[in-house]
Amino acid sequence: MNIDPFLIWLESTALSQWIVGSESMFAFPGILALHAIGMGFAVGICLALDLRILGVAPAVRIAEMRRFVPVVWAGFWLNAVSGVLLLIGYPTKALTNPVFYLKLLLIGAGLWLFRRIGRRVFDDAGDQRAQSPLVQRLAIVSLVCWVGAITAGRFLAYTYHRLTALS
């Protein structure tokens, strides 16, 4: 299956050309900044929860961290929208790179783990349940997924073989 016709079409759309070709701060630089901000909220809070489960900041009650769940999801959706726009700007760069698919897999796993951990610890008995070996293992795997997703995302800037469909 040859994906090039789709990539050529997507790269020729007005939106794609505006994202990569405009000098506006609202184009590529602004979208990338929003992507970083969304990542900071979503991943930062997930990492804070994982670290709390692993014993960092024991004075903070885990149940109190539940109030940040909407911020995680807002950050995720900001990342999803900005990520799609970045993908539209450089579809060949991402869609022909296995690291992109690894990043998506790690994000999916991280979100699944966040929900699974949350179901176990976001109540009054959460601090006690957080000490269970299962929850602590989930927190460690979650940390690995989020660090891996961020690393894979950064590697996308350097590991592509084709920037555009015609290159």
Torsion of CA 13, 155, 82, 6, to 10 degrees: 30
Reported as a single tens digit per residue, the pLDDT across 55-87 is: 999 999 999 999 999 999 999 999 999 999 999
Alpha carbons 112 and 58: distance in angstroms, whole number: 24
Please check the confidence at residue 13 and state whether its pLDDT lies above 90: yes
What angle, 0 to 180 degrees and rounded to 10, lies between the N-to-C axes of helices 133-155 and 28-53?
A: 160
Please check the confidence at residue 45 and state whether its pLDDT lies above 80: yes
pTM of the predicted structure, to 2 decimals: 0.93
Dihedral sign (CA 164, 20, 108, 133): positive
